Structure 1
Amino acid sequence: MNADWPDAAVVIAAYEEADSIGRTLDSLDGQEAEVIVVVGGDDDTAAIAEGHDAVDRILEDEAEDGPSAARNQGARAATAEVVCFTDADTVVPNHWVAKHRRHYTDAAVAGVGGPLRPQGDSTKHRLLFKILSDYWYRAAWPVGFVQQSGNNCSYRRTAFLEAGGFDEEIPFMEDTELSLRMKRFGRVVYDKDCPVYTSTRRQTDQGYVGLFLTYARGYLDYFVLNRRPDDGYFK
């Protein structure tokens, strides 16, 4: 690994993810980063994390007030220069951490994001993820609408903390909101060759049309009408 790259930590917010967190941790095993799991709920998530070789630290989710609060707690506990975030229903490829780290040799870079790909072999999911979680990002980022997904993003830790981290008061779109806010601290890079593979459970439960309309309403409320999203977006 390039010794000139800054060191990194990976923060995983895990609320009752016993069924999936083992696969997430397997994918991080051997990658050069401190792995911090912030655990909430009362299932076996903590026990699985405690027994996994990839994990360096386990924190009890102090607030149990959603992923933003858990991610912020993990980032505050980290000491590395770069903090990467992924979710407990997501699998990262080999060298995922390294692909994030390499961008931070440029002092102007404050954040890095990449595309999402679905777990499984469904043609429908692969096609729609490619359009909505890759091609859309490639089109939106050059015009300034950066959208780092919370399960595939990283930040320079000092800038992240100075910015206040994820907004814990909004129920969703917190990753996009932070991405846009972080532009004040430096360049936010989209790396099309740095994907993660994530669960399609929300797409299956909500449907792509329903999700699209929900996010369209959220974008309109927050970014156009300056109204903060409330808790009524997802039922």
Structure 2
Amino acid sequence: MLAIIVPAHNEEQFLANCIKSLLAASTHIGLGGEQVEILIVMDDCTDDSLTVGKRHDVMIHVCKNRNVGKTRAEGAELMLQRGARWLAFTDADTVVPCSWLADQIRFNVDAVCGVVEVTDWSEHSDEVRMRYDAHYRPVDGHRHIHGANLGISAAAYKKAGGFKALPAHEDVHLVEDLERSGAVILWTATNRVTTSARKNCRCREGFGDFLKSLADPLFIG
């Protein structure tokens, strides 16, 4: 079984579009009909995220971690217990392409680090966008790490020790552990997702905070 795991904290605005894209990706012809299970880990949601999730054919797990690393790890453990051979991670404010999961499997490696793109820059100045474009390199062989676009085999995940209970950069630490464990990692630009550039981001020190830092006149890329 292939598993898709999505942490969500107060994501009623974006969650439906995220789930719809995951459902489409889960039935891609390139998967050969292999079973796919989608798990939304609702982390201390006080909005209507749970209601949104229940409208769709996905699994839901509720927790109160307020810690993205612990929440990703909890979701991963639940899916490993259900027999997942591959763990695909994204975020609730992200939309994946139809071939997203099929491509991860097709690469036949231990882990896949994909890239993200932003289509709506309305909350940011032109200068922020220009600085982002100058800093971010969506090319094969990149070294960007995003919890919003990460796939790992169950064996490699367990060998590396899984996500640590960190409030930020849990994805970076896991990839570093994967490298130390000898995992074969593909850094690809062909596997990309579209994510939010909102200023009211959910995870401190994550992608949203990085975008806000680009507005600082003292920013050094």
Which TM-score tier does this pair reach, normalised by the shorter chain? 0.7 to 0.9
Paired residue for 1:181, among 177, 193, 199? 177
Report if aligned partners of 1:72, 1:165 keep a CA contact under 8 Å in 2. yes
TM-score after normalising by structure 1: 0.72
Q: d(CA) in 2 for partners of 1:157 and 1:127? A: 38
Structure 2, unpaired ranges of 5+: 27-35, 199-207
- For the residues of structure 2 that align with 1:132 and 1:82, how far apart are their CA atoms? 31
Q: For 2:98 and 2:150, locate their aligned partners in 1 and report how far apart those are by CA, in whole Å.
A: 16
Closer/same/farther in 2, CA of residues 74 and 35 from structure 1, 3 Å limit = same
Whole-angstrom distance in 1 between the partners of 2:132 and 2:149:
14
**Paired residue for 2:66?**
65
AA in 1 matched with 2:117: R
Is the 8 Å Cα contact of residues 164 and 170 (structure 2) preserved in structure 1? yes
Partner of 1:159: 156
- 1:8-40 deviations in whole A, cap 9, x for unaligned? 211000011111101101111232231100002
In structure 2, distance between residues paired with 1:213 and 1:187: 34
Identity of aligned residues (%): 25
Aligned to 1:27: 21
Aligned residues: 194
Measured in 2, the distance between the counterparts of 1:31 and 1:85 equals 13
- Residue 60 of structure 1 aligns to which amino acid in structure 2? V
Say if 1:17 and 1:89, in contact at 8 Å, map to a contact too.
Answer: yes
Which ranges in structure 1 are unaligned for 5 or more consecutive residues? 1-6, 217-235
1:116-136 superposed Cα distances (whole Å, 9 cap, x missing partner): 10032669466555444434x
1:233: which partner in 2? none
Q: What RMSD in Å do the two structures reach over aligned CA positions?
A: 2.7
Q: Distance between the aligned counterparts of 2:164 and 2:54, measured in 1?
A: 28
Tell me how far 1:97 sits from its aligned partner: 0.8
Counterpart secondary structure, 1:134 = coil
Q: Residues of 2 paired with 1:207 and 1:177: CA distance?
A: 21
The residue type equivalent to 2:84 in the other structure is A
The TM-score, its normalising length taken from structure 2, stands at 0.77
**Alpha-carbon distance change, 206 to 81 in structure 1, aligned in 2, over 3 angstroms:** same
Q: 2:46 aligns with which of 42, 46, 60?
A: 42
Q: What amino acid is the match of 2:212?
A: Q
The CA deviation at 1:205 is 7.2
Corresponding residue for 2:115? 115
